[in-house]
Amino acid sequence: GFSVQLFNFHDVKKILKIPNIGIFIFLFFIIIFSVANIYGTFALLGHKFYGFTDRQNGYLFGIMGIVGAIIQGGLMKKLSVKLSEKALLFTGLVPMIVGLALIPYGVNFLGVAVISAVLSVGTGILQPTIISFVSKYSPEDSQGAILGFNSSMGSLARVLGPLWGGFAFQFLGYEAPFVTGAVFTFFTLFGTWYLIKTKRLELH
């Protein structure tokens, strides 16, 4: 076993060499980054582009929170029993991509609310799924250190995501944080599919 800090490159290198673990941690980082990337700009999009009130923006955040709680609060147990690990992963990635990509094109409040719910289904499935993969595929004597490192990468993503989102909104356009988040997640989906197909990532 070993302990690890985010910038202890020797231990980080050891972690990333463990089969599957580096891929899962990268997936976790991209997912958190892509979602955090829109949080600072979601309300701005509502105000400046859709003309939503503060109350309507609050409702949208509430919808996303409720859907995420439903998914993680009970539905995940049923899904994890019925679906394979591969199916569970893609069941989360696809709605996340769709949700991120379509939020700037929802037309009205109802459209954005439905799309936001779709996004929350994806993130609600993905976050606990990948954490469980990291735990399951970690060597027992290093599990705590690896989960800690994964958590640190998630924290880093929550810092970098809003920075990118603010930059993209300001200089690339109102839709840029959402579309770029969808693009990042799509490449993650494609990369994961390729790794599974070539057996470099083995899931049950």
- Tell me the DSSP string of 4-15: --TT-HHHHHHH
Query: Considering the entire predicted model, what is its pTM?
Result: 0.90
pLDDT digits (tens, 9 = 90+) for 14-45: 887 888 898 999 999 999 999 999 988 999 99
pLDDT at 15: 82
The pLDDT score that the predictor gives to residue 16 is 78
The pair phi, psi for residue 19, each rounded to 5°, is -50, 135
HEC profile for 132-196?
Answer: HHHHHHCCHHHHHHHHHHHHHHHHHHHHHHHHHHHHHHHHCCCCHHHHHHHHHHHHHHHHHHHHH
pLDDT for the residue numbered 171: 95
Instruction: Pick out the chain residues at pLDDT < 70.
Output: 1-8
Segment holding 197, helix H or strand E: helix 176-197
Contact 153, 6 (CB under 8 A): yes
pLDDT in tens, 161-172: 999 999 999 999
